[in-house]
Chains A and B, each alone.
Chain A
Amino acid sequence: MSGIDKAIVALRELDTGATRIAIDARIQLIVALGFVVVVLTVPLTNPGALVWMFAYPIIMSEASGVGYLRVLKQSLWVLPLIAAIGMFNPILDTRPVAVVMGITLTEGWVTFAAILLRGLLSVQALLVLTNTCGFREVCRALQRLGCPAVLVTQLMMLYRYIGVLLEEAQSMHRARLARGFGRKSYPLKMWSEFVGQLLLRSIKRAQRVHLAMLARGFNGNCFIEWARPSLHWRDLTFLLGWAAVIIALRFLPINAFLSNLISR
């Protein structure tokens, strides 16, 4: 499978590959967003406290049958991006905080680690959400929670257009393979033509899709409205249970407790 095929599969799996669970998507969305907010309140100087927060993505993904390994793998894609955000901390902030095995640990490295953990936690929480609801359900949940329909529609269109772009790339890639007679490398000039063609084709395709939308009465301000099904007891239990766990993970001094236990 080429990289393009893999990307298409991954994109579709965001929706169709989801291992759906019987909890209302709105509640799952609230828990996931609440979790992200709590993660962001952990001070950057205390990465140790963040480690325990991984309990949420791990338990959620394992219990739902998604598997933490899958979520972990998916989340590693954005690691370079997060690293880029925190890159300057170790360089700029060289105040020493501790000496571990002869190496001086600076404030900058500590906050860098905290940024990495925060980023990973947030991304994993959202990945767990799409993996247990499906992309479309997350969009629906957003609207049911009061997010304007126009934003939700945009989000779904964005998802669709990434798909269009990838599909165009795929068909061009196949056409090239079919006539390439096994040739592996192409000069840079051909790559730039390839990219230019891809853009042109995507724009043409997007125009045709837009025509098809117009043909079916789309007027730019009529959006998808979904009904709001009522919540069940299990949804409420899920919400309260996780709220308690997340708050405990955040505010109970687990590290201090453990080191006490060990040094005693």
Chain B
Amino acid sequence: MSHHYIRYTNVHYSYPSGQEALKGVDLLIKHGEKVALLGLNGAGKSTLLLLTNGLLLPTEGEVNVGDVPVSKKTAPMVRRAVGMVFQNPDDQLFMPTVWDDVAFGPRNMQLPPSEVERRVEVALRSVGAWDLRDRAPSDLSGGQKRAVAIATVLSMEPNILVMDEPSSNLDSRTREQLMAIVNDFHHTVVIATHDLEMALELCPRSVIMKDGRIIADGLTERLLRDQELLELAGLSLTPALAEYVEK
């Protein structure tokens, strides 16, 4: 998987309950791009990300990561390349301590213990959670959980980083830290978010979704200036952001 691009071709997905979450998504995300996925609650952002990791498979259409079509067979390989931060950190953290949780991925990759230790330390330090290493994840605050959840993915050193609402619940310092991590990450990043400010700062490109379809795709700066589009998508700028966009 030398080229870390993601290609969605006419992707449909219906949940077993019958809910049609994606209704034909066509999208190409190139290597090294940082893309924000915007849209109202229920637009289908999380679903699209789960498909990227092979955790869900399209009911119709195809997802390609690099040259590999995502299928049941290729999913384990795809997951090594695509690191996913879940929307709810409570789902992501399941080991008895923070340290074990961050080590879970590298251990599954059968890395030697010294390498596992190194990666855990680097990952925890980069999100500022090294001091939490012996705590139980269930005892942490919402923001601390979020930071650790991000570390669990960073420790796997993925080529593509997929994040579902990573900035919710973070205080401003941890949020800055997160932005720095994403900025320093030199591969592909896809972030589903309601945090338009973060989208503008981190992601040159944005994709806006509505009702399981993509309704706009382009430069973040330009999309956020398009009043009509924002209204259609149900997005609204904070006063500070509106002022910034004006300029």
Contacts and interface: CB of A to CB of B under 8 A. Distances in A.
Interface of A: 12, 15-16, 135-136, 156-157, 159-160, 163, 167, 205, 208-209, 211-219, 222, 224-225, 227
Interface string B88-112: 1011101111001000110111100
A166 to B, nearest CB: 10
Name which of B96, B113, B152, B153 has the most chain A CB atoms within 10 A of its CB: B96
Chain B interface SS verdict (over half): helix
Interface string B124-153: 000000000001101100000000000011
Contact of B96 (A159, A205, A212, A227): A159
B108 A136 contact: no
B136 A16 contact: yes
Contacts, number: 73
Interface in B40-84: 50, 53, 55, 75-76, 79-80, 83-84
Given A136-B97, A156-B96, A160-B96, A216 B156 contact: yes
Contact of A215 (B53, B100, B138): B53
Contacts of B79: 214-217
Nearest to B138: A163
Contact of B94 (A12, A136, A209, A225): A209
Given A211-B91, A217-B79, A12 B107 contact: no
B105 A216 contact: yes
A215 B96 contact: no
Contacts of A160: 94-96
B137 to A, nearest CB: 10
Contact of B139 (A12, A157, A209, A215): A12
Nearest to B88: A208
Given A136-B100, A157-B94, A216-B156, 6 more contacts: A136-B96, A163-B138, A215-B86, A216-B153, A217-B79, A217-B109
B107 A222 contact: yes
Nearest to A171: B90
A17 to B, nearest CB: 10
